[in-house]
Amino acid sequence: MGPVIGVASNMQTHPELSMDCFRYVWLEGKMEAKIAYVRDVPDWNNLDKWPAGRLFGDAGEYRWQRNPDNTVHGVILSDDGRLPEKFESGRLELTKKPDWSDSNLIL
């Protein structure tokens, strides 16, 4: 499988994630922001404290933002093509055109 992007809206909480592909976390709170190793921030998934942020590493990225109605909007970029079930309906396969090079791809 190739890389994919998945989108899910109106989630009540974060999806079940395989944490082995995420090494870092960027967190945004009401009066605080930080970047750290995921292992050093066990409460990264506390939506009251961190309503927005992202987990990322060599194999992918998960971004989220809490909506005004307290649901969660999330986007996952996965290099190995695997997505949590909640993201399958918003799946977008990424294909590389023959004339693309890595230097032309900006996220």
Domain that holds residue 28: 4-97
Q: Is residue 102 part of a domain?
A: no
pLDDT (0 to 100) of residue 46: 96
* 43 within domain boundaries: yes
pLDDT value of position 94: 64
**Is 79 within 8 Å of 59 (Cβ atoms)?**
yes
pLDDT in tens, 1-23: 678 888 998 999 999 888 788 99
pTM for the full predicted model: 0.82
Domain count, the chain: 1
In a domain, 56, yes or no: yes
Flag residues of the chain having pLDDT under 50: 100, 102-107
3-state secondary structure of 40: helix
Report the SS3 class of residue 103.
helix
Residue 105 lies in a domain: no
CB 47 within 8 A of CB 74: no
Q: What span, in angstroms and rounded, lies between the C-alpha atoms of 10 and 27?
A: 20
Cβ-based burial of 87 (10 A; exposed 0-12, middle 13-18, buried ≥19): buried
- Asked if the structure places residue 104 within a domain, the reply is no
Does 106 reside within a domain? no
